[in-house]
A and B are shown apart, each in its own frame.
Chain A
Amino acid sequence: MINQNVIIAEGLTKIFGNFVAVDHISFEVAKGEIFGFLGANGAGKTTAMRMLCGLSTPSSGKATVAGFDLFKDTEQIKKSIGYMSQKFSLYEDLTIRENIQFYGGIYGLSKKQIQEKTTYLVEHLHLQNYQNSLVKSLPLGWKQKLAFSVAIVHDPAIVFLDEPTGGVDPVTRREFWELIYDASERGITVFVTTHYMDEAEYCNRVSIMVDGRIEALDTPQNLKKTFNSLSMDEVFLKLARKAVRGE
């Protein structure tokens, strides 16, 4: 492939009134990469991600996602991405099976594909005994793993994850990251925001946002070297403390 970059952002900006939420960010994400998107609360991570998903129109700048222009082909982009928001967004009053069926259906999978996907996911997530239980009865960790699996039910080019492991126990977090690695191996690019610095270490490359701008972008290894730190935690603190605006 000539162009291996699935996300190209150039000077992407979002302004709400007088408030510049995202201030001219530029970066590229390669196919199959796990791209960590770090920043303190209110740094503009979610806004940036919502723009890339076509949920929010950028005020200025340029971007292509999965080869499609962010301004012209928003609906095309939506076919090629998966999104898991901060808020849990499966239907709690539907069962696991029904959720998979619904999201598979609206992404245009065939009946047979939905059938296969459901069987595979239920087995893969060890939910055989719960497949006909309502989603609201599941523990949070399971819900998050299910939400991730549903977000990539249509095998998108890119999946956007907004703090997917918030409030989840360490064991389940580890399992969640195994799912992310699985997806990445299948060629799905993973764009993930997190507040856990151990998770940042798992990423191929990490960007750190401060006050709406990207202050650093490199592999975790190089970042630690550049900022003369022992851990990503230190790197993050050094950068995030420069922030002027609060939450």
Chain B
Amino acid sequence: MSVLKYLLQKEFRQIFRDPSILKIIFIMPALQLIIIPLAADYEVRNINLSIADHDHSVYTQQMIQKIKSSGYFKLVNYSSTFQEAFTSIESDKADIVLEIPANFEQNIVREDHASLFIAVNAVNGMKANLGASYLQNIILNYNNQIRTKWIQFPPIPPQTNIKVSVSNWFNPMMSYKYFMVPAVLATLLTLLGTFLTALNIVREKEIGTIEQINVTPVKKYHFILGKLIPFWILGLAVLTIGFLIMRFGYQIHPVGNMLIVYLFASLYLLVILGLGLLISTYADTQQQAMLISFFLLMIFIMLGGLFTSIDSMPDWVQKLTWLNPVSYFIEVIRMVVLKGSGLSDIKNHIFVIIGFAIFLNSWAVWNYKKTT
């Protein structure tokens, strides 16, 4: 045990002696946690709208007014030909063209029927899709308004309306920060843990100190524990800072018990540090370690459910995410923070993550060779 004590003492001395590493460990994730969720917002605003109005009636003016006041659209071009409106899409000034045909007002009033045309710039698919559906909603709404005005007291309602009301459970305001902040925190912890461990050991390989250790009677598992424990503690410290930012910066009050998240995170960190260790046993230079980590983490994060919902991925990808530790952590942290899930709800996640931890760390110990 005393060998381990000396290994830990040395590791902590080195960590606290390097101010740049300390800054990276504490300030960088904090800054990212403050910036990323503000930017990673699914809500689409500032959609540039170009209108080709062939009608120039009171009704079209009312409708345009309604669209503008929704707050989602910015009118960048108002013209009387479709051609002109369309050039604004071609020159990338507008995202959507709304074409209002001639006699729009007349048709509505007399024939109770009118059509509009929407052309969407699908280069930015997300913005186009959402923008078009927002616009349709607003127009539908306006349509209903007119109808109620014209058919004021119908003996029988001319058309039955099915009204759907939606209520968002666990995130009633559908605020993206509730959804994003915990997941971004999980991702940052993953990045930090893997990179720090992998690079730390490979650096000792590059300097040559690891050979000096290999020629001593230090046992493999002592050496690995000597690396794991310090980064495990640092990881939990970063997690705590993240929780404080979440609570006081974003005013997110976790519904569930944060101790459950800590418990899960402490197990999860073992998986991530194990991954870093494993990478370090294969890489000979810091460059190699960086590239391997980058490659793996990229896949883990993209398929981790941070930006895109795992449920909407193709079936075979969904099966792949079972092998992705990041997806378990993101899911658990969201479940506990938003839904208040308890231990029994996440017990399968815990078993899986323990499995990962044992698997990756044993592989790392096995592959770490004192003798070549």
Contact = CB atoms under 8 A, between A and B. Distances in A.
Interface of A: 53-57, 74-75, 78-79, 81, 83, 85, 87-94, 98, 101-103, 105-108
12 contacts: A55-B211, A55-B215, A55-B371, A56-B371, A56-B372, A79-B217, A83-B215, A88-B208, A91-B14, A105-B5, A106-B7, A108-B2
Contact of A55 (B3, B17, B209, B214): B214
Contacts of A56: 371-372
Given A54-B371, A93-B17, A103 B3 contact: no
Given A89-B207, A89-B211, A102-B10, 4 more contacts: A54-B370, A55-B215, A102-B9, A107-B217
A108 B209 CA distance: 18
Contact of B216 (A57, A85, A107): A107
B18 interface: yes
A214 B272 CA distance: 49
Interface of B is mostly: helix
A91 B10 contact: yes
Interface string B1-33: 011011101100110011000000000000000
Contacts of B372: 55-57
B233 interface: no
Contacts of B291: none
A89 B10 contact: no
A81 B9 CA distance: 24
Given A98-B13, A101-B6, A106-B218, A89 B18 contact: no
B156 to A, nearest CB: 86
A75 B18 CA distance: 33
Nearest to B18: A93
Nearest to A104: B6
A53 B17 contact: no
Contacts of A81: 215
Contacts of A93: 14, 17-18
A148 B333 CA distance: 52
B220 to A, nearest CB: 10
B213 interface: yes
B212 interface: yes
Contact of B6 (A74, A85, A106): A106
B209 A91 contact: yes
Contact of B211 (A57, A74, A87, A102): A87
B345 to A, nearest CB: 44
Nearest to A114: B6
Nearest to B214: A55
B294 to A, nearest CB: 26
Interface string B182-218: 0000000000000000000000000111011111111
Given A87-B211, A106-B7, A57 B371 contact: yes
Interface in B69-116: none
Contacts of B7: 106
A13 B214 CA distance: 21
Interface in B281-335: none
Contacts of B218: 106
Nearest to A75: B217
A194 to B, nearest CB: 19
A67 to B, nearest CB: 16
Given A85-B208, A87-B207, A87-B208, A106 B18 contact: no
A105 B222 CA distance: 13
A106 B219 CA distance: 10
Contacts of A87: 207-208, 211
A103 B216 CA distance: 9
B184 to A, nearest CB: 32
A54 B216 CA distance: 10
Interface in B41-75: none
B371 A106 contact: no
A98 B10 contact: yes
Identify which of A53, A54, A105 gathers the most chain B CB atoms within 10 Å of its CB: A105
Most chain A CB within 10 A, of B209, B211, B214, B217, is at: B217
A55 B213 CA distance: 10
When A and B form their complex, which 3 residue pairs have the shortest distance between CB atoms, in order from nearest?
A105-B6, A87-B208, A89-B212
B2 A85 contact: no
Contacts of A74: 371
Task: Tell which of B3, B10, B215, B216 has the most Cβ of chain A within 10 Å.
Answer: B215
A91 B211 CA distance: 12
